[in-house]
Amino acid sequence: MTDPLAPTSDDDSGFPDSAGEEDWPLVPARMLNEFTYCPRLGYLEWAQAEWAPSADTLHGEFVHRNVDREDRRALPVGDADSPDAIHRRSLRLEDAGLGLVAVVDVIELEGERATPVDYKRGKAPDLPEGAWEPERVQLCAQGLLLRAAGFQCDQGVVYYAESKERVTVEFDALLIVRTRELLAEFRRTAASGKIPLPLVDSPKCPRCSLVSICLPDETNWLNAHPPTEDEEAEGAPAPAKGDRPRLALTPRDDAKPLHLSEQGAYVGKSGERLKVTLKGKHLADVKLIDVSQVCLYGNIQMTTQALAELVERQIPVCYFTQSGWFHGMTTGLAHRNVEVRIRQYAAAADPALALPLARAFVGGKIRNCRTILRRNLEHDLDRVLDRLVELATDAERASSAESLLGLEGMAAKLYFAAFATLLKPGFDFEGRNRRPPKDPVNATLSFLYSLLAKEAHVSAQAAGLDPMLGILHKPRYGRPSLALDLAEEFRPLLADSVALSLMNTGELKDAHFVRRAGACGLTPAGRRAVLSGWERRLSSEVTHPVFGYVLSYRRVIALQARLLVRALTGEIPGYPPFKTR
């Protein structure tokens, strides 16, 4: 006899395994739990396939470490002669008629009676029902699946690990009706393609694992405080302390990029660590949990085991040429959030949708260029700052993409002419040149712009966007156009600022550059100096000019990518570029 509870897959995503199955997937019971808790959370996790680990989810995985060991033994379904107590762990159930799928932590069998047991990390709540509604609904969904498989199932158990309590949940008529109603509502919401509104000032949000993706406070704030024309020109005022959105992205992230530039180096995996060697000599040993990206410059090799582990952990591997040109990235499967990419493609193809976004990118860039000059110019004899304000305002009101690009070009010419006066003697700069850069300043800027493009590429892809299809930068073979769009407002604040600091403080010297055939490049020591300055800058903290909380620049880039998603999906009135004061 075929075991109806035999596992058919190691996940309960609910998505069809072949094209011949139903168009609509089965709803996972754990997603029904999330939808009951917060409809927006359920939609993000199931319809848009968003996920982010948190301390709570990691602790939950630890609690489940035993029950998650899949049990593939056949079940004595309907066998009255079976032992009085039989346990089966981490078993998959599904039923097309119900439209449900689940992986049950534990099933306790006694004859034809089955009792699902669901493990939860916290304490048992002091409620008349004994458990929270999302937990009761998830358990009831598992009970309905067991009934569909031919078992008697009138109750389930929630086991709370922290208080070590078993709470019995009766599957009465009210709970069954409520579970079916929520299931039908979840499917309607997913089919609509419209994300539910974020919760307002809810205590559920701060500890939610998806708060940095959902951005409930930020979305509500931007909708309640759309900038006026004057505020768009000067930058919207930050909210008062008591009105600020709660911090959605932690100020610091313990995981950092691992940069490897020693030619011939070899990256392998040993347990939970990456080991870097060169001709058998040990160079570095890094915990995987401490790595956010692996950046390889030139001739660096990596074992299949190390690469597979990085892909499994969603840690991107970024490839640069030896001279620092970013040309590729290895990640896992493409982000399943197709809905966002559909909106992105529509915006890129429609000038009416693309122009407001492009104006925001360029306007933010010009204003940040002015900020860098304002902070460093001793005397503005040529009134460059006033002219940049005028150009930024014109860019934010441009009537066409062509006029916008013309304004950007004029602003860049003014900016770099003034930027040259900020450099200490010894570094001559007569404007931008590249491919190849011909002087130390341009070599440094090109490398930094490449690092910035990589950072924007990673953030765009993590947000579900296609980094290759831009709004301002038109598609070109091999160019990550959307990543360059996101990078625009950060060029002066991050890349130009780091170059200025390194050269004026003496961290970069003439000896850090090599010149050949009219081209200029960084030596290995020069690249290490630039990478060090770059990482310091990305880790430095800044007050967000719109939301008023403090976070690192690396987190700011990730936040801006998420805000672009919210603008593309119409959840906020427009994309707010990051503009410091």
pLDDT tens for residues 204-220?
Answer: 888 787 888 888 888 88
**Within a 13 Å sphere around the CA of 458, how many CA atoms are in the beta-carbon half?**
24
Across the range 284-303, mean pLDDT stands at 86
The CATH fold assigned to 338-568 is Four Helix Bundle (Hemerythrin (Met), subunit A) (1.20.120)
Q: Which residues contact 136 (CB under 8 A, 6 or more apart)?
A: 129, 158, 169, 175
Does the pLDDT of residue 426 top 80, yes or no?
Answer: no
Query: Residues of the chain with pLDDT > 70: what percent?
Result: 83
Query: What whole-number distance in Å separates Cα of residue 166 and Cα of residue 180?
Result: 25
- Return the half-sphere exposure (C-beta side, CA atoms, 13 A cut-off) of residue 172: 5
pLDDT digits (tens, 9 = 90+) for 451-493: 999 899 989 988 889 888 889 888 777 678 899 999 999 999 9
Give tens-digit pLDDT for 391-416.
Answer: 999 999 999 999 999 999 999 999 99
Share of residues in the chain with pLDDT > 90 (%): 33
Which structure tokens are listed for 89? 């762990």
pLDDT of res. 210: 85
Rounded Cα distance, 501 and 90, in Å: 55
User: Is pLDDT of 142 > 90?
Assistant: yes
What would the two tokens of residue 79 be? 């066998």
Mean pLDDT confidence for 432-451: 88
Give the whole-angstrom CA distance, residue 552 versus residue 448.
18
Average pLDDT of 369-386? 86
| Model pLDDT for residues 224-265, shown as the tens digit of each residue | 887 665 555 555 555 555 566 666 554 446 678 888 888 888
pLDDT of 6 strictly over 80: no
Round the average pLDDT of the chain to a whole number and report it.
Answer: 82
Query: Please, where in the chain does CATH 3.100.10.20 lie?
Result: 256-330
Q: For residue 368, give the nearest of 538, 545, 218 by alpha carbon.
A: 545
Whether a cis peptide bond, with omega within 30° of 0, leads into 524 is no
Residue 106 has pLDDT above 80, yes or no: yes
Report the C-alpha dihedral over residues 305, 309, 314, 319, rounded to 10 degrees. Answer: -30
Q: Of 207, 188, 279, 276, whose CA–CA distance to 247 is shortest?
A: 207
3-state helix, strand, coil in the chain (%, to 5): 45, 15, 40
Residue with tokens 């994300």: 195
Question: Strands 281-287, 273-278: parallel, antiparallel or unpaired by DSSP?
Answer: antiparallel
Q: Which of 450, 365, 440 is nearest to 408 (CA)?
A: 365
Residue 479 burial by Cβ neighbours in a 10 Å radius (0-12, 13-18, 19+): middle
At residue 25 the predicted structure's pLDDT band, cuts being 50, 70 and 90, is confident
| Beta bridge partner(s), residue 103 | 92
165 forms bridges with which residues in the sheet? 160
CATH architecture of 27-192: Alpha-Beta Complex (3.90)
Q: How far apart are CA 140 and CA 155, in angstroms?
A: 8
Element (H, E) at 389: helix 384-396
CB 160 within 8 A of CB 123: yes
DSSP notation for 530-554: HHHHHHHHHHSEEE-TTT--EEEHH
DSSP letter for 513, please: E
33-79 confidence digits (pLDDT tens): 999 999 999 998 888 777 654 444 434 443 344 444 444 444 444 33
In which residue ranges of the chain is CATH 3.90.320.10 found? 27-192
Model pLDDT for residues 110-126, shown as the tens digit of each residue: 888 999 998 888 888 88
85/353: higher pLDDT: 353
Instruction: With beta carbons less than 8 A apart as the criterion, state whether 419 and 431 touch.
Output: no
Q: What is the pTM of this model?
A: 0.79
Round to whole Å and give the CA distance between 406 and 419.
20
Domain 256-330 has CATH 3.100.10.20: yes
Say how many Å lie between the first and final Cα of the chain, rounded: 71
